[in-house]
Amino acid sequence: ANEDALLRWSIRSLGNLRFQIGRDAVLNKTLLRTRIRLCPACVVNDMASVQGPYRRFHWDLISLRTCEIHGVPLIQLPHLEHSFGNYDFVKRVGACWEIIEQANGKASQRDFTAYEAYLLARLRGTVGSHPFLDALSLPVVTRLAETLGLALIGDRRPQRLVTTDDLYEAGKRSFAYLETGEDGLLECLCTLLQDPLQSNASHKIDFGAFWVWLNHASSAPDIERLRAIAREFVFSNYPISRGTIVLG
């Protein structure tokens, strides 16, 4: 294999549960490393070709949930108790072939969203058209898009109860704002803003999952940038009492 291509498309461990994927360094929880996800249509086509089935590197990114080629949801294969066996993609495809064929026959079409297209383009090294998002780390982009989208949908359930379909819709909804940059983020916050003169007015309630994430995220330059935007918006639009702490 060409060395440059191999390095470009390989997911590499950086230690301390961090991995290199594309140009980004991401945390372990950003990827599905011991869970195999795949597009059933792609794998069925692979099996009919000379090369056989292989794992696309972007299937590991949790926030990519749809096949760009076939427009169907990615499926997750049953998990083996011992993690080592889950890394053998070809063997797992053979063991789960009936599941893959059934999923391919029943797969319903859906959009490969603009949000997913941005993530895939970023993994492939195409940046520049979204400077606001490009300046944020990949894990922050995905958390921003999906928590903000959940707030737009009005989903206030605990994160553990949110489904992959919910997160698919959340990313789709929020990216319509985020793709226009910081102005789009502010427009989105305006959309979430309820009447601040109501007795129960609360930015924490209005911003839901987005606020919970931003409040608990570990400090980093891109996190602090988002906190500053949110903080200024809150102070400018809500009746905050003197001395109240907002995002620190």
Q: Which tokens is 6 given?
A: 């191999």
Q: Which tokens is 62 given?
A: 């949790």
Phi first, then psi, for residue 192 (nearest 5°) are -80, -20
* pLDDT value for 201: 67
Degrees (nearest 5) of the Cα angle 60, 17, 86? 45
Contact between 156 and 207 (Cβ < 8 Å): no
Quote the mean pLDDT of the chain.
91
pLDDT tens by residue, 8-46:
888 889 999 899 988 888 988 899 888 899 999 999 999
Complete edge-to-edge strand list for the sheet that includes strand 12-15: 12-15, 18-21, 24-27
* pLDDT value for 200: 63
Cβ burial, residue 48 (10 Å; 0-12/13-18/19+): exposed
* pLDDT value for 208: 93
pLDDT tens by residue, 145-171:
999 999 999 888 877 889 999 999 999
139 versus 241: the higher-pLDDT residue is 139
**Got the DSSP string for 167-181?**
HHHHHHHHHHHHTT-
Lowest mean pLDDT across 48-52, 111-115, 124-128, 179-183 = 124-128
* pLDDT value for 150: 96
Token pair 């029943």 is at which residue? 106
Distance CA 66, CA 39 (A): 8
* pLDDT value for 52: 92
Q: How confident is the model at residue 244 (pLDDT cuts 50, 70, 90)?
A: confident
- Rounded to 10°, the helix 164-178/138-153 angle is 100
Distance CA 214, CA 218 (A): 9
Amino acid at 86: N
pLDDT at 136 exceeding the cut of 70: yes
Lowest mean pLDDT across 43-57, 94-108, 167-181, 192-206 = 192-206
Instruction: Give how far Cα 69 sits from Cα of 39, 73, 138, 205, Å.
Output: 9, 11, 23, 39
The CB density around residue 50, as the number of other CB atoms within 10 Å, is 5
- The pLDDT of 85-104, averaged and rounded, is 93
pLDDT at 143 exceeding the cut of 70: yes
